[in-house]
């Protein structure tokens, strides 16, 4: 059984571990190995501590983090989001990150995390959302399409010296 809940500062180490581990398993062969292998747990943990601290302090910038936790209290996935950072697209909200450990995929946890993000956005009066996914991450793309997202934009960016294509998926109307 899994619980989806809002993150607390004490969750930062678990979120950082999931973030790095899922990058390494999901993006191997897509993102340069050197980039994947040189992830810093300390830096990533510090980043998530800051994000969650801002959320707990009621930061003016609306942002949220949810975690998926198993019966043993271990964080096995997370999702974060808030207001859209993409000004050229007509979406109010954005899921900034959603990651799940490989062993816990295809159990409905990812869908529950996306639903929690959608519910949080709706509670804040946000009625549409988007997210970015690497074009070569085919399992991720199929998941977002199954969740009702449609491709709305593509763009190139460079990571670890490699040019990568990312795809934006959009949901024009989140359901209440």
The tens digit of pLDDT for each residue in 70-110 reads: 999 999 999 999 999 988 889 999 999 999 999 999 999 99
Strand-pairing partners, residue 155, are 166
Strand-pairing partners, residue 151, are 169
> Does residue 8 fall inside a structural domain?
yes
User: The domain containing residue 51 runs over which residues?
Assistant: 3-126
> Does residue 159 fall inside a structural domain?
no
pTM of the model: 0.91
Tell me the residue ranges of DSSP E strands in 11-145. 63-69, 75-83, 93-100, 129-134
Rounded to whole angstroms, how far apart are CA atoms 159 and 35? 8
> Does residue 166 fall inside a structural domain?
no
Tell me the percentage of the chain whose pLDDT exceeds 90: 82
> Does residue 131 fall inside a structural domain?
no
For position 55, what pLDDT does the model report? 62
In the chain, what is the straight-line distance between the N-terminal and C-terminal CA atoms, in Å? 26
To the nearest whole number, what is the mean pLDDT of the chain?
Answer: 92
| Contact criterion met (CB below 8 Å) for 28 and 36 | yes
| Contact criterion met (CB below 8 Å) for 81 and 89 | no
Task: Report the CATH number at residue 47.
Answer: 3.40.630.30
For position 61, what pLDDT does the model report? 64
Quote the number of domains for the chain: 1
Q: Is the pLDDT of residue 48 over 90?
A: yes
> Does residue 154 fall inside a structural domain?
no
26, HSE (Cβ side, Cα atoms, 13 Å): 23
Strand-pairing partners, residue 93, are 83, 129
Tell me the per-residue pLDDT of 31-40, one tens digit each, with 9 for 90 and over.
999 999 998 8
Closest CA to 68 of 18, 118, 122: 18
């Amino acid at each position: 059984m899994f619980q989806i809940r809002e993150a607390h500062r004490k969750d930062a180490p678990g979120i950082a571990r999931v973030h790095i581990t899922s990058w390494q398993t999901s993006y191997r062969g897509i993102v340069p190995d050197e980039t994947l292998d040189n992830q810093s747990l300390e830096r990533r943990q510090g980043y998530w501590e800051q994000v969650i601290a801002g959320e707990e302090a009621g930061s003016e910038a609306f942002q949220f983090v949810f975690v998926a936790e198993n019966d043993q209290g271990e964080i096995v996935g997370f999702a974060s989001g808030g207001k859209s950072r993409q000004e050229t697209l007509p979406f109010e909200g954005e899921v900034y990150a959603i990651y799940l450990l490989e062993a816990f995929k295809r159990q409905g946890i990812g869908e529950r995390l996306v639903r929690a993000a959608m519910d949080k956005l709706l509670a804040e009066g946000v009625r549409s959302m988007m997210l970015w996914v690497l074009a070569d991450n085919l399992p991720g793309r199929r998941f977002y399409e199954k969740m009702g997202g449609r491709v709305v934009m593509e763009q190139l960016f460079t990571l670890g010296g490699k040019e990568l294509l990312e795809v934006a998926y959009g949901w024009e109307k989140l359901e209440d």
